[in-house]
């Protein structure tokens, strides 16, 4: 295999978030590298709209769940079914980087009609110092018109599962 | 009396044609009292806050319930209800 092909293959592996292959450790992916959703139908899907309120990025929400009117059953059903379709990991990202990453992730998910996705923001370093990103992420979600519910999976404060409004129904 | 800064977001901002304003309230008021006061201003405000049970409220940039107690100088962000699925 040519060096160029090897590098191309290694890059592809990193993009998929694979950090080890057998006994061979691979270079950890850069933050955000494994968070991209596949392009639908091979066509490039450009950024179409802001999913989060750009004019108020310092919002916080410390509730474990929230739902829009009439969406409680949909939320409970999705959580029972564990039907999360895509995930983004925010570990290693600063707040402003996380904002952009989540905004882009939700936009792409909605373009591909993903209705239930997952955001991994972490627990925080200690019991008395909860994840800063958790409160921020949930604040952004609570302020978004495109989010119809969000919920913390039972026993896992490091994750928020998000229900997205369908773009096809408009 | 207390003065709170009220920020309007998304369709509320468009509907009321105002991004923010200062509102005077009686001491001891809650976010629900603020919304009642706003809704009582005129027909436009009454319609804008008709579905107030689903209104999302950020008190000093933290999402809170309508019974959050307000103090002088506080900031209250109001987000319209999310509809559809």
Mutation choice for A interface testing from B62, B65, B66 by most A CBs within 10 A: B62
Q: Could you tell me the CA-to-CA distances from A24 to A18, A20, A21, A89 in Å, in that order?
A: 11, 6, 5, 23
ipTM: 0.77
CA distances from B65 to A68, B52, B58 (A): 14, 11, 8
User: What pLDDT, on a 0 to 100 scale, did the predictor assign at position A47?
Assistant: 62
Per-residue pLDDT for A33 more than 90? no
pLDDT one-digit tens code per residue, A92-101: 899 989 999 9
Contacts of A77 in chain B (CB under 8 A): none
* Average pLDDT along chain A: 75
The partner residue sitting opposite B63, judged by closest CB among A55, A142, A147, is: A142
Chain B residues touching A135 at Cβ < 8 A: 62
Which tokens hold the place of A45? 């899907």
The pTM (predicted TM-score) of the whole model is 0.73
Q: What is the per-residue pLDDT across B47-82, written as a single tens digit (0 to 9) for each? A: 999 888 778 999 999 999 999 999 999 999 999 887
Look-up of token digits 């409220």: B57
The answer to whether A34 and A53 have CB atoms below 8 angstroms apart is: no
Q: What is the DSSP string of A132-149?
A: HHHHHHHHHHHH-TTEEE
Question: How large is the average pLDDT for residues A140-157?
Answer: 90
How many Cβ atoms sit within 10 Å of the Cβ of residue A37? 19
pLDDT average, residue stretch A49-71: 81
For range A12-35, the mean pLDDT = 44
Question: What is the band of B84 on the pLDDT scale with cuts at 50, 70, 90?
Answer: low
Cβ–Cβ gap B62/A70 under 8 Å? no
Give the span between the Cα atoms of A35 and A70, in whole angstroms.
30
Q: Which of A52, A167, A29 is nearest to A98 (CA)?
A: A52
CB pairs under 8 A between A and B: 68
At residue A110, the 3 state secondary structure works out as: helix
Q: Please give the domain boundaries of chain B with CATH numbers for all domains.
A: 2-79 (3.10.20.30)
Q: Which residues of B touch A (CB under 8 A)?
A: 7, 9-10, 51, 53-54, 56, 58, 61-63, 77, 79-85
- Which of A60, A70, A74 is opposite residue B62, by nearest beta carbon? A60
């Amino acid at each position: 295999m040519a060096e160029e092909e090897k590098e191309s293959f290694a890059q592809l592996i990193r993009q998929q978030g694979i950090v080890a292959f057998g006994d061979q450790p691979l270079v950890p992916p850069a933050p955000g590298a494994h968070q991209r959703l596949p392009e639908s139908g091979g066509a490039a899907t450009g950024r179409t709209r802001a999913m989060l309120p750009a004019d108020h990025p310092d919002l916080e929400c410390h509730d474990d769940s929230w739902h829009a009117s009439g969406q409680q059953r949909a939320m409970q059903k999705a959580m029972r079914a564990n039907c999360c379709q895509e995930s983004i990991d925010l570990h290693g990202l600063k707040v402003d980087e996380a904002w952009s990453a989540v905004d882009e992730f939700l936009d792409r998910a909605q373009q591909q009609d993903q209705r239930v996705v997952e955001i991994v923001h972490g627990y925080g370093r200690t019991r008395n110092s909860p994840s800063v990103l958790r409160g921020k992420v949930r604040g952004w979600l609570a302020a978004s018109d495109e989010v119809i519910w969000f919920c913390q999976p039972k026993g896992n404060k490091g994750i928020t599962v998000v229900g997205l409004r369908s773009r096809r129904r408009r | 009396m207390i003065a709170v800064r009220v920020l309007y977001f998304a369709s509320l901002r468009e509907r009321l044609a105002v991004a923010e304003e200062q509102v005077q309230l009686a001491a001891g008021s809650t976010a629900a009292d603020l919304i009642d006061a706003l809704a009582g201003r005129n027909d436009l405000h009454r319609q804008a806050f008709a579905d107030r049970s689903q209104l999302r409220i950020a008190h000093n940039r933290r999402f809170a319930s309508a019974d959050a107690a307000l103090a002088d100088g506080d900031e209250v962000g109001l987000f319209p209800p999310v509809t559809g699925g």
